[in-house]
Amino acid sequence: MKPRTLIRADGLVRHYGPHLAVDRVSFTLERGDILGFLGPNGAGKSTTMRMLTGTLAPHAGRIEIDGIDLLERPLEARARIGYLPEQPPLYRELTVDEYLTYCARLHRIPRPRVREAVAVARERCGLADAGGRLIGNLSKGYQQRVGIAQAILHMPAVIVLDEPTVGLDPIQIREIRELIRELGREHGVILSTHILPEVQEVCNRVQIIHRGRLVFSDRLDGIEDRFAEPVLTVRFRQSPGAEALARIPGVREVHALEDGRWRLVHDGRPEVAEAVAATAVAEGWGLQALVPERRTLEQVFVELTTGEAQPREEAA
């Protein structure tokens, strides 16, 4: 069964005067996706987020939220979006229940359903016992939970979270990340963040925007396949020397590393690793480690946003 498409953005363009902030950005978000949206400052990330949430109109392109055109039917489409901005829109003088009840009315939840909606949102966000507490007296982590609760009150199809863990301590960060994972089981989630480990922890897809254009869009586990380097790091009990390693079929370069390790650049064929292992056994070198070298998300991000990377099409 094909997953339900919750966001379809086609050819989004946005100018600020002569400056082209977003240049033909297209992508989809499906139910169950947690999409990490990354980009350096000034890359067009915030502008794209504002267009997706309906607070800024594109100069060209089309956005559908759960099958509804955002420009043609904005109220109906925006009702299917829950949004937590970087600075949560909290009223510190209200209790949690008072604030969520107010937000429920803004979301046009029918009066008979408000109490239940507030209770469900509190329960999902770990605020079951905090309904009567003043928001101003809550920790930063619990205030973020309240912010997420207001975003899911109306059970939106799409949840957009902008830097949800900024300023939190490590325990609070772990709790919010777990909450995001839980939300991703029933909704489509877009996570905008500068924290790359956060994307690796909770997201199954990642997009990188640079100079207004998407330069990477794929599943997180696709990074290893698309950016794998033909390099093996090896270590032996008895060092064979560079010349012996260079004679192994497929090995192109040999570099000595610390602790007796060797870095072997090869021609990319999977048989090279087998050849290294077989030669080590035949020659009695005592193979202790054979590890393929992979690029991290941070390395990919730096390469794509500091070099002249070409935009990549979204994987099917």
Could you report the per-residue pLDDT of 285-306, keeping only the tens digit for each? 999 999 988 777 888 888 888 8
Q: Is 291 helix (H, G, I), strand (E, B) or coil?
A: strand
Mean pLDDT for 176-203 is 91
CATH 3.40.50.300 fits 5-225, yes or no: yes
Could you report the per-residue pLDDT of 117-145, keeping only the tens digit for each? 999 999 999 999 999 999 999 998 999 99
Q: Report, in angstroms and rounded to the nearest whole number, the Rg of the chain calculated over CA atoms.
A: 25
For residue 242, what are the contacts with CB-CB under 8 A and spacing of at least 6? 254, 256, 262
> How far is residue 252 from each of residues 36, 72, 268, measured CA to CA in Å?
37, 58, 10
The candidate with the shortest Cα–Cα distance to 208, out of 87, 307, 77, 316, is 307
- Please tell me the distance from the alpha carbon of residue 133 to that of residue 199, in angstroms, as a whole number: 32
pLDDT at residue 152 tops 90: yes
Tokens for 218? 């794929």
pLDDT of residue 240: 93
Could you report the per-residue pLDDT of 215-259, keeping only the tens digit for each? 989 888 777 666 667 899 999 999 899 999 999 999 999 999 988
Ranges assigned E (strand) in 78-212 = 81-84, 158-162, 188-192, 205-210
Task: Indicate where the chain has its CATH 3.30.70.100 domain(s).
Answer: 229-292
What pTM was computed for the model?
Answer: 0.78
pLDDT at residue 312 tops 70: no
Task: Indicate where the chain has its CATH 3.40.50.300 domain(s).
Answer: 5-225
Q: Which of 1.10.490.10, 3.30.70.100, 3.40.920.10, 3.40.190.10 is the CATH number of 229-292? A: 3.30.70.100
